[in-house]
Structure 1
């Protein structure tokens, strides 16, 4: 499947608000903590709008201005007026409002409910206010109106992707005359159509509605015929659509091509022996992170509310924001002597607080520590390394010597210039030569003139119709830390003799038992069988998803769509998200004998249990700026020594400039939980 360009898409939602959409249904909810099953009642329209709101919430979540949508309602009441009116049941009705009916007529009961724009929270609020009407609407009329409105909006944006989604229960009559002309128009404009049907038959779910009306059977068959005639059409049931929209998915999007220069050899000193070509760079992988969380704290409120004659303290939560303030301690200026004896008195602490002076950030300059002092270095004083934009190949090495554990950052594609066949041939020759010799290249990348260089590795990659290079950044020698640890196999006594028998050294029996256990837990042949009857590996990195990202996203979407979280709690994670959480049962069953042998060899008879006692203490934290000496005093122990008692210690190192970070401007109450853990052993029978 080719990658889509991120954004640059207009999606039209055509929602059926006919009277049949007001029928109520029972929807299953997640079970209670005790395991009791729960259900709730809602209309077909409310149930189907969950899919629409989740799709729109996806656009809001991505935050792209070029990802836009519009909503049309078919089954709207009235004839010509674009204004809403008061219905007999005191609800606001939506009348006909579309450009096609205003221009040509004949497309009544179709209303442009939400114009095409980037969606926001107001879009979801308008969908929540949508109610079933008292008039049936024709989905083909809505489809034609949606195509024309979308075409007018994208008149000067020919490269944008066009999508239309119809949400209906299939109970309204359809005028199917000249529907082939609509199909030709959609294929010419490259419009994809998705029909989400309420209680439509689906063999994959599986679901087949009983006692289905004749008109719904005919309409459902027509929708399948319509979508099969399109270049890109699909029909699905709403239950399956709601299930699949929660499926974790990694979307492949096109990355913007950035121009740079690839150089081999010295183009300045020996230009006749050097090669310089124009290349394009795009992302191959991109790091995904969950949405950041905002921190809130509970603040004490001095105001008290009287409820039934009793005073009740209200809880106020405010967002915590980081604030940086700069202070200078005048008592530690250069040249002043510090007392070697520190007397712990409160009067001295107050005097030291008076010597602390606040300074503004504009009054500070950059400095680097040099020995025991600081060397001031204003911005721009040290000259930067003179670098030139481009990728310079420094040398080649055998691919077998590449260490994947040292790779840093994301992978980039290096393509030849798409508009220059000569550049494509030149890059392809380098790629094929590296592939035949089985070598990688060491390259130096400078993104812009004057920027810091990055060192990395270029690997040849050959696709079916194009050759390119893959770039990954590698660390400098100073960035690699080497740590040494004591041997786990060789134990030496205090006298220097080698120990051969020790509880920390495994025996041959234990090594054999562990080898059998590891072999029994092998996942390479634990998957499903392929077409040839051979088992494939159980774990596939392409189907493994980060629960932190997708579960957080599911919770955000659910909270944005559902007005009441208590009556509609967050559903459980999608099964695909939990696919690799637990080991396969087949492997566990196969490893039972190996596990029993390990227990016997290692004499596993005791289990450790952890008991945690929680001590909750309410503390009132008041922001206070401590001096360096105060911080040093507090580290000597608690409680503080009596006044006048002397303590001998080396004077602390103090800096003239200290940074104090304050997160709160008012006192607040916080609960601190101290854990005291104790362990005990229990002999297993």
Structure 2
């Protein structure tokens, strides 16, 4: 069970927080709120009722706290009592945590108010208590008598965290020059307070910089199997081995948060403010900010000639399960379902051993788990340790049959021994059955086998010694295992596992947390650490360039020129081998200025006009003529008998316009065709023609295929039925 938490954030809203220090474009308050919003939204995202948050404003224009009758507690406002933080409170706090017009307000008094809030809510119960103060320490502060406060913090086990705007931090390497005397004195007092009560003290610059480092969620281990690891049958033989063990996941895929579907509520007049957490739980009335959760309803129908529409609704209870056997459904009633159950009992039984060197790593089928002895069981620990050492000394793996729960399918797993100075365990991973194996045959990579069976070891498709040496040097030059640098400048691993984070997972969390606070703002760019390992380091590329050049030279690699596209304008006609231009003989009179396309030979004459066209106007005129002919074919088609000729003409038109790199002409014609088909201008019932155009992939030419083409939205709209 997760522990209970109570955290109070004290945010300095004084007028001095309006400054923009050290060249920052945002005010000091906005800079401080980056840290506060990140911590609050991270708590909201957990959705835990036991993770409670309180927010106190320091140096506010107003005063609202339980001690407001005393002068020392003026300009301190409790914006949020300690409770579970929900989205509605997050949006409210955004309007509350704004700059004030006063410099009055004591930070020490604000800490006392936070201590009282925690004592009132938590009483003597077991809580993780924390107070986080974010301030620039430029307001009046009573630091003379802090002994009672330090004693109370220690008695109630409250952790105090002070994060200051531009506070000095020698370890982080930040120091503010020309610091105000009041700020320097207050900063020293707060640092001494943290040292005396065992708290934490730091600068806001470091806290904000570290926001870009994802916080890996620590999970509570949940066993997937508890029972005996057996070798032999303990029920029949006294010499059989039976060890109490527990099995836990070692590696699991981290999943991203899932989205939920909502619709605008119809009863907005009665809608109440939602209490929905960031992890997707429904709030009051299943709504959130005027949205209602979408609920799925499923109905089942069977064919019935007597029912309206030929189908009849049936209840789910009336349905039965059928199993496919060839093309036939085999019905098995619920009362007979036990015949399909393979009866098993829980257990982990060793069925044999395999030499470590004979096991192929590609046989791994699942995520890995670890097996340890039952906790607080010294006899089991000693027995399992002996088994682990026996496997380790013999360079062997164990093969076992695992059934985690009753009547669950049995699995075959591999047991690998792991021995570390302070830890011993067995790693296990699932092995395939015969039905899981797929055997594929590929030609060898190190030799060429001819049709007659002769093996050739020197061939143009085989690497020679120079190429192999060059590739080996290139691989060595791209080595990341020693490319990184530690704090002392020594070589170390470039991307250690504990610093390599899942970009998609943490990017989605980053966007969700930002959108929760700033609903209408664009999300910030991804953190640098998420994109750091998405590309090769520039320094490593430069270092490996000589080795790569040697590979290119040894492999005799030559750049292949891009496939030449058609030129805009007149196309050059292909020259026949006989040097007799048949097209010129069959073409129309070249002296005629306006050449008409004969519908009986439309496609051939259209190609001739495109070849002979010297101006854009001639190309457009030829396309217009073919367009009118296509429209007539569709209009006078008997049924769909004329659609074939029309589709072929459209295909030729598209090819010619792509070769000439003039997609606009083709797209204009297709837009006109769609409009006329939907309006019925080419005859009633001709909408089927648009369907044939879509299925033949003769729609608009996209901009991604050719510059000047249609956008994705225009293409989707053209394909739409209405």
Which residue of structure 2 aligns with residue 544 of structure 1? Answer: 500
Q: 1:284 to 1:492 in 2, by over 3 A?
A: closer
- Which residue, out of 534, 545, 556, partners 1:602? 556
Of 112, 124, 138 in structure 2, the residue corresponding to residue 144 of structure 1 is: 112
Aligned pair partner of 1:252 in 207, 218, 239: 218
Deviations 1:417-449 (A, max 9, x none): 434444444434433444444433333333333
Contact 1:50 1:561 in 2 (8 A): no
Render the CA deviation track for 1:163-218: whole Å, top value 9, x for unaligned: 22111111122222442443344345443332121122344665433442212101
Partner residue of 1:468 out of 425, 434, 459:
425
Q: Which moved more, 1:51-60 or 1:596-605?
A: 596-605
- The 1:154/1:440 distance shift into structure 2, 3 A limit, reads farther
Tell whether the 8 Å contact from 1:97 to 1:110 is kept in structure 2 after alignment: no
1:52 corresponding residue in structure 2: 36
Alignment of 1:165 onto 2:132: yes
Greater Cα offset, 53-62 or 483-492? 483-492
Equivalent residue in structure 1 for 2:537, among 560, 584, 592: 584
1:274 counterpart residue number: 240
Match of 1:574 in 2: 527
Q: Which residue of 1 aligns with 2:162?
A: 195
Equivalent residue for 2:122? 154
Which residue, 129, 135, 153 being the options, matches 1:186? 153
How big is each residue's C-alpha offset from its partner over 1:479-502, in whole Å with a ceiling of 9 and x where there is no partner?
A: 232322234444455666666676
* Matches of 1:672 and 1:361, distance apart in 2: 46
| Equivalence for 1:14 | 10
Q: 1:439 aligns with which of 396, 421, 435?
A: 396
- 1:356, 1:673 → 2: CA distance? 43
Per-residue deviation at 1:570?
Answer: 3.3
Shift in Å at residue 374 of structure 1?
Answer: 0.9
**1:449 and 2:406 are equivalent in the alignment:** yes
Q: 1:261: which partner in 2?
A: 227
Alignment of 1:148-547 (within 5 A): 148-155=116-123, 157-158=125-126, 160-203=127-170, 206-231=173-198, 233-256=199-222, 260-266=226-232, 269-270=235-236, 272-293=238-259, 326-328=300-302, 359-379=314-334, 381-383=336-338, 384-462=341-419, 464-492=421-449, 503-528=460-485, 535-547=491-503
2:515: which partner in 1? 559
**Corresponding residue SS for 2:336:** coil
Whether the aligned pair in 1 keeps the contact of 2:7 and 2:132 (CA below 8 Å) is yes
Go from structure 1 to structure 2 and tell me whether the alpha carbon gap of 1:368 and 1:462 turns closer, same or farther (over 3 Å shift).
same
For normalisation by structure 1, the TM-score amounts to 0.69
Could you tell me which runs of 5 or more consecutive residues in structure 2 were left unpaired when the two chains were aligned.
Answer: 264-290, 566-657, 675-687, 708-722
SS in 2 for 1:244: helix
Could you say what secondary structure the match of 1:254 adopts?
A: coil
Provide the aligned C-alpha RMSD in A.
4.4
CA distance in 2, matches of 1:505, 1:260: 54
- Are 1:96 and 2:49 matched, yes or no? no
> SS at 1:15's partner residue?
strand
Which has the larger strand fraction? 1
Distance 1:495 1:603 in 2: 31
Q: Following TM superposition, by how much is the alpha carbon of 1:287 offset from its aligned partner in structure 2, in angstroms? A: 1.8
Secondary structure at 1:136's aligned position in 2? coil
Query: Is the Cα–Cα contact under 8 Å of residues 224 and 404 in structure 2 kept in the other structure?
Result: no
Instruction: Identify the residue that residue 646 of structure 1 maps to in structure 2.
Output: none
After TM superposition, give the deviation of residue 585 of structure 1 in Å.
3.4
| Greater mean deviation of Cα atoms: 407-416 or 221-230 | 407-416
Contact (CA 8 Å) 1:12, 1:164: kept in 2 or not?
A: yes
Structure 1 residues 597 and 427, CA gap change in structure 2 (3 angstroms): closer
Change (3 A) 1:264 1:189: farther
Q: Give the Cα separation in 2 of the matches to 1:500 and 1:440.
A: 38
Task: Find the aligned partners of 2:223 and 2:145 in 1 and give their Cα distance.
Answer: 43
With over 3 angstroms needed to count, the CA separation of the structure-2 counterparts of 1:226 and 1:557, relative to structure 1, is same
Q: Give the greater-gyration-radius structure (CA).
A: 2
Return the TM-score normalized by structure 2: 0.66
* Separation (CA, whole Å) in 1 of partners of 2:487 and 2:163: 33
Equivalent residue for 1:34?
none
User: Larger relative contact order (C-alpha < 8 A, sep ≥ 6)?
Assistant: 1
Provide closer, same or farther for how the CA distance between residues 276 and 496 of structure 1 changes in structure 2, counting only shifts above 3 A: closer
Decide whether aligned partners of structure 1 residues 214 and 529 sit closer, same or farther in structure 2, where only a CA change above 3 A counts: closer
| Alpha-carbon distance in structure 2 between the residues aligned to 1:113 and 1:640 | 60
Alignment counterpart, residue 116 of structure 1, candidates 74, 82, 90:
82
Q: Deviations over 1:487-539 (max 9, x none)?
A: 444445566666667654444443343333223323333222686x7633333
Question: Displacement, 1:390?
Answer: 4.1
Deviation at 1:288, TM superposition (A): 0.8
Q: In the TM superposition, what are the counterparts of 1:15-94 in structure 2 within 5 Å?
A: 15-21=11-17, 23-25=18-20, 41-42=26-27, 44-75=28-59, 93-94=62-63
What is the SS of the residue equivalent to 1:137? coil
Aligned length: 558
Normalized per residue, which structure has more helix?
Answer: 2
SS at match of 2:529: coil
SS of match in other structure, 2:11: strand
